[in-house]
Structure 1
Amino acid sequence: MILALSRVCGASASPLKILCTPDEIRLQCFMKYFTEEMKVNWYHKDAKIASSEHMRVGGSEEMAWLKICEPTEKDKGRYTFEIFDGKNNHQRSLDLSGQAFDEAFAEFQQLKAAAFAERNRGKVLGGLPDVVTIMEGKTLNLTCTVFGNPDPDVVWFKNDRDIELSDHFLVKVEQAKYVSMTIKGVTSEDSGKYSIHVKNKYGGEKIDVTVSVYKHGEKIPDVVLPQQAKPKLIPASASSPSQ
């Protein structure tokens, strides 16, 4: 059964294709069906590859793959995938050298750098609503947790302009991750769009919170129920809106 399946799959096997990810250069061979029970081998420069942390061999339902993890110049060369059906060897080869290696390695490095930046850029980890409705004279306290490596800069804006800190506007950043902005005794002039920008050298994000202040005795404005505010990305090269 497996040999018959290997014969069909070997005949249907596609040319080897290159796929780059942040972790590896992957060589893939597509076919009608694949199972690791089939007798298959991968070769690099005619040497059989044993699955390891650096060279991982495996597959899915319709594909066999070889993952070259953290590739280096030593991984250049000709690669061959082989299926044995009991009588014949079905082989597909690819020369991962010269321009093919240079382009794949450059793409791998770009994806790896982008993934590293995404993991470490400034982020707001939650806690801020998208809309706040509050009565005049009350104290508004907006709090959230931020993350970044290195620690991100945290700046608040009102209607895209710097907020001047005072006894009325207070901003705290504790342990480089717990952030709060407090407005004491809010008035109608405090209505508007408040934005927190969290950014380090890898980039960051901003979150907008719309604050609506109503007077005592007035009907509470009709607003949709607040939801968690959605962040917007800030590229590493972006400047502050007030600059």
Structure 2
Amino acid sequence: CFSLFIAEPPEIQKGPQPLLRVVEGADVTLECETFGAPTPKVYWYKRDQVITGGRYAILEDGSLLIREASASDSGIYTCNATNKYGFDSSSGTLNVKRKTRIQTSPGSQE
């Protein structure tokens, strides 16, 4: 009987964009497509804090979904991929802009 086991340290094949700009209220996906054997476990961090639950979800491919992004979500996000053979990391900056509001002055209506 012959069995073949392939061991590969994690590699992030497609990480988050260096700078991603979105409008407040939009859903945002930060990419983190990985390869490795065994399949790497993906963790996301913002300012050295692990991201879990709430408006955040780690998708099956390792990407991070942020629902209804707000200005407070702006910052540097890091995707870490790990298995028993190694570790890889990739970072990107998210910039959430407030929606543009057009206001008319009370005297401008005829």
Give TM-score, length-normalised by structure 1. Answer: 0.37
Specify which of 129, 133, 151 is matched with residue 39 of structure 2: 151
Counterparts of 2:13 and 2:44, CA distance in 1 = 16
- The alignment partner of 2:72 has SS state of helix
Question: Which residue is equivalent to 1:172?
Answer: 59
Question: Which residue is equivalent to 1:213?
Answer: 96
- The alignment partner of 1:128 has SS state of coil
Tell me which protein shows more strand as a share of its residues.
Answer: 2
Is 1:193 the counterpart of 2:80 in the alignment?
no
Determine which structure has more spread, i.e. the larger CA radius of gyration: 1
Give TM-score, length-normalised by structure 2. Answer: 0.78
Percent identity reads 27
Gaps of 5+ in 1: 1-118, 219-243
1:120 alignment partner AA: E
Tell me which protein shows more helix as a share of its residues.
Answer: 1
Q: Deviations over 1:23-51 (max 9, x none)?
A: xxxxxxxxxxxxxxxxxxxxxxxxxxxxx
Q: How far has the Cα of 1:171 moved from its partner? A: 1.1
- Tell me how large the CA RMSD over aligned residues is: 1.7
Question: Which residue is equivalent to 2:105?
Answer: none
Question: Which residue is equivalent to 2:64?
Answer: 181
Q: How far has the Cα of 1:209 moved from its partner? A: 1.1
User: What is the count of residue pairs matched by the alignment?
Assistant: 95
Counterparts of 1:164 and 1:198, CA distance in 2 = 15
2:99 alignment partner AA: H
Gaps of 5+ in 2: 1-6, 102-110
- The one of the two structures with greater contact order (alpha-carbon pairs below 8 A, sep at least 6) is 2
